[in-house]
Structure formats: C-alpha cells, structure tokens
Amino acid sequence: TLGERAEKLGMRAYIVGGIVRDLFLGRDNLDLDIVVEGDAPRFLKSWEKDGLRVSVHERYKTGTVVFPGGKKVDVATARREFYEFPVAQPKVFTDSLKHDLYRRDFTVNAMAVSINQSTWGVLVDFFGGRRDLGKKILKVLHNLSFVEDPTRVLRGIRLEQRLGLALEDNTLRLLRSCVRGGLLVRLSGFRLRSELELSFRERFPYPAAKRMEELGVWEVLFPGLRLGETGRRTFRRLGAFLGRISRDFPDFRGRQWLAFFSALLMESPENIRLAAIDRLNLPESERGIVVKCLSELGAVEHELGGRSGPSNSQIYAFLRDADPAACLFWSAATGRWRVRRRILLYLTRLHRTSSLLKGRDLIELGYGATPRIGAILEKLKILRLDGILENRDDEVRYVRY
Ligand code: ATP
C-alpha cells in the first residue's frame, strides 16, 4: 500500500536503515523508516486526505504517518546533507537515494529495499552492507564519519554488542582516534543523555558498558570515573533482574537507564559523581532519582537488612514512594542478600497488593461514603501484606467486628 501510493504519485519509495539490516539478520524491528525519491510531505499529505494522522516537517522534508492500530511510519525525502562544520545543523537539498544513504553511520545501516510495485523487494546496497553483514563487521562509510558525528561512537558500540558484529579494523582505529582526540567532549548534555538512555535500554547493557570502558569512552565523558568490580557486578545483576519487573511498571522502560547510570557512578568519589550528573544536564526528576539511588543505598540496607524484620507491610511502607528504577538499583547494588530479596519481593509482589474488598463493598457493608473508607482499605491492605488476613471472608469479618 505504501508502495502503491508512491507509485501513484510518481515517486520511488524504499524502506531503509535498521529495519533492512534486521530483516537480513532475522531480528524483529518495529521501526519502519521510509525514504522517498520525490517529496515526503506530498507523500504524507496524501494519507492525510484518507483521514490518517500525519505530521509534516516542511523544512526538513520529513514527517510521520500513523496507521490504524497505531503503527507509526517515518518518511524522509532522499536528500544530501552538507556539514558546514562538524555537529552543525544540516542543510537539506532534495537529491538522490545514494546521497541519503551515504550520510548514514555504518554500511549495514545504509541499505534500502524498494517497495514500489514494479521494483518491489529490490535491494539497494551501494556500500557493501550485505557483504559486511556476511562478514559480521560494522564499518563506517568514510574516514570522517566519527568526526562528523561523534554520537556514532556510542551507536557503534551499542550495535556491535547487540548484533554480535565486530568493529572493522579501520573503523576501530578511527573510533579510537575520535575518543583520544576528545571529540566526545563536544557532545551536548542532551545528546549524550539520549545516547546513554538508548545504550542502557538494551536487553543486556553490560557488554556495551564494558566495551566503553575498554575503549576509554567513560574516561573521556566522565573524567575520573571508576568502574570497578562492585559497579560491574551491579550492572550484571541489573540486567538479570530487569525482565522480572518491567512488565509490572508500564512507564519503567523510560527510566531503567537511570539505574544503570547510577551503577556506573557508584564507585566514584562524590565530586566525580556530581560532575557526571551535571554533564548530562538531566531534568530535575531524573537527576533526583540518580542522586537518591546513590545517596540512600546505606539507609536502605540499614532499614531492610534486619535478621528477623521488617514485615512485608514495613517493606512496602519503606519503598512505596521510591521510584522503581531506584528500587531496582538498590536490589542490584547491595551486597546483602536479605536486602536484595526484600526489595525484589516488593518489586514483584508487594507493590501490587491491595485489599480484596473494594470501596464499593464497604459501602454495601454499611460504611457510607466516608473518608474512613480509605483508611480502612489501607488497614486491610497492611494486614493482607503481613498474611494476617488471607481471603475475602477474613476481610469481611475484620471489617464487621
Ligand atoms: P535501533 O534498533 O537501535 O533503533 P537503528 O539502526 O534502527 O537501531 P535508529 O536510531 O532508529 O537506529 O536510526 C535509523 C537509521 O538512521 C539507522 O539505521 C542509520 O541508518 C541512521 N542513523 C541514525 N543515527 C545516525 C547517526 N548518528 N549518523 C548517521 N546515521 C544515523
């Protein structure tokens, strides 16, 4: 349908980038990026006439269309970018697909597949992406790639680890000299934060973090940082615990990286930590979570480490106001198994406990809509957490007498 539409408008359309790479690797990829030779805004607006939600960026000749069911497709115009100086805002000229692909980061990301009816499925691969996938290597398109955009250092390490590719020799050499030359220092806090978020959103962030250490990336980004055995162990544990909790906390995915970032900083002295946090220019809410992760580990261990206590309801009361990312960090960072077990109990079970009776039931039992209902429900929850009330009958009996 996308292809038919392009054909009707006299444009050529291609799927490009990560999705083509992942098709060859047999990996799922839900991001659909399309490039048209023609005019992306005109292509997009033709969907608007069909009542679909479309947003268009005229200046960059790009935009997005949302299909029924919520599938989002990004559409760009094949274009050539001239970098006037490194890290500048690119100027946009309508031009050929080849130039569009040439401005991409790695050969394996610079392939396109035609989706027009007449040429459906034809692979466009000017730079040997298919060959490099076969050789399992990650290779830049030209020697200035990292200079043009130093975030590619972080992207490269992330893709290398996720896809099981190896940075090709010359690419690795260029990457190293970009790191050594201090180019990463020029990245804004915002871009750096976005890249770290992506790196620490991976299914297993540890290998990339280790590789960054090996290549000296951390040292350039956060001078004086120390990532030792405790930090590394915390990283690995975080990776192992993630799956257990992400489904319970729907908005957790966007903040999980804060737990990893805290692990990265946990062994460094206070002034280095603060400088690193400042470097990212975090919004206050995120900054608060990282500071809390690092500063309250001792208090958490003290509170939750007792041999016989605390009770489930005490664990719940202590952790309920903390962000799940902080709880996860503490569970992975502590060296004390009791503390870890209690936090994981909270994250997997206690946090979603509620009384079996609802407000409605209390009204039926004759409590009227009084403010007391909230307090009674809270009390029921506490008794249920501690296993004192086991079922609905217990709760009814408790409320009655
Ligand atoms: P992911 O699965 O992490 O989303 P992806 O390769 O699809 O991986 P995106 O960030 O969605 O990554 O980028 C889509 C495409 O845009 C990439 O495949 C690449 O071709 C290009 N791209 C993204 N960032 C850069 C960059 N910094 N420099 C050059 N090309 C880039």
Dump pLDDT digits (tens) for 259-298: 999 999 999 999 999 999 999 999 999 999 999 999 999 9
Expressed in angstroms and rounded, the spacing between residue 247 Cα and the centre of ligand 1 is: 26
**Closest residue (by CA) to atom 8 of ligand 1?**
18
pLDDT value at residue 94: 42
Q: What is the whole-number distance in angstroms between the Cα of residue 109 and the centre of ligand 1?
A: 7
Mutate to test the pocket of ligand 1, among 155, 174, 253 (most ligand atoms within 8 A of CB): 155
Name the 3-class secondary structure at 106: strand
The model's pLDDT over 358-392, given as tens digits with 9 standing for 90+, comes to 888 888 888 776 778 888 898 999 999 998 999 99
d(C-alpha 82, C-alpha 98), whole Å: 14
For the CA of 151, the nearest atom of ligand 1:
27
Q: Are 249 and 227 in contact (CB under 8 A)?
A: no
Helix (H), strand (E) counts: the chain: 22, 11
Distances (CA, A) of 45 to 42, 71, 73, 210: 5, 17, 13, 46
Report residue 90's pLDDT band, with 50, 70 and 90 as the boundaries: very low
pLDDT tier at 39, thresholds 50, 70, 90 = confident
| Count of beta carbons in the 10 Å neighbourhood of residue 287 | 15
> What is the CA(17)–ligand 1 centre distance, in A?
6
Q: Chain centroid to CA 302: how far?
A: 31
In this predicted structure, what is the pLDDT of residue 84? 44
Over residues 111-121, the mean pLDDT reads: 91
Q: Which residues line ligand 1 (CB under 6 A)?
A: 17-18, 29, 31, 33, 104-105, 109, 149, 151-152, 155
- Cβ atoms 179, 153 nearer than 8 A: yes
Task: Return the closest-CA partner of residue 222 out of 178, 278, 181.
Answer: 278
Backbone phi, then psi, for 16, in 5-degree steps?
-135, 165
**398 alpha carbon to ligand 1 midpoint, in Å?**
59
Burial of 325 from C-beta contacts in 10 A (0-12 / 13-18 / 19+): buried
CA 314 – ligand 1 centroid, Å: 46
In angstroms, how far is CA 130 from the centroid of its own chain?
27
Per-residue pLDDT at 370: 72
Nearest CA to ligand 1 atom 10: 18
| Alpha carbons 42 and 44: distance in angstroms, whole number | 5
200 pLDDT higher than 60: yes
pLDDT given at position 399: 86
Average pLDDT over residues 145-157: 96
* Atom 22 of ligand 1, nearest CA residue: 104
Whole-number pLDDT of residue 79: 62
Helix residue ranges per DSSP H, 181-228: 189-199, 206-214, 217-221
Split at pLDDT 50, 70, 90, the class of 248 is confident
CB under 8 Å to 262, separation ≥6 — which residues? 290, 293, 294, 329, 333
For residue 190, the SS3 value is helix
What is the bridge-based pairing of β-strands 79-82 and 91-94? antiparallel
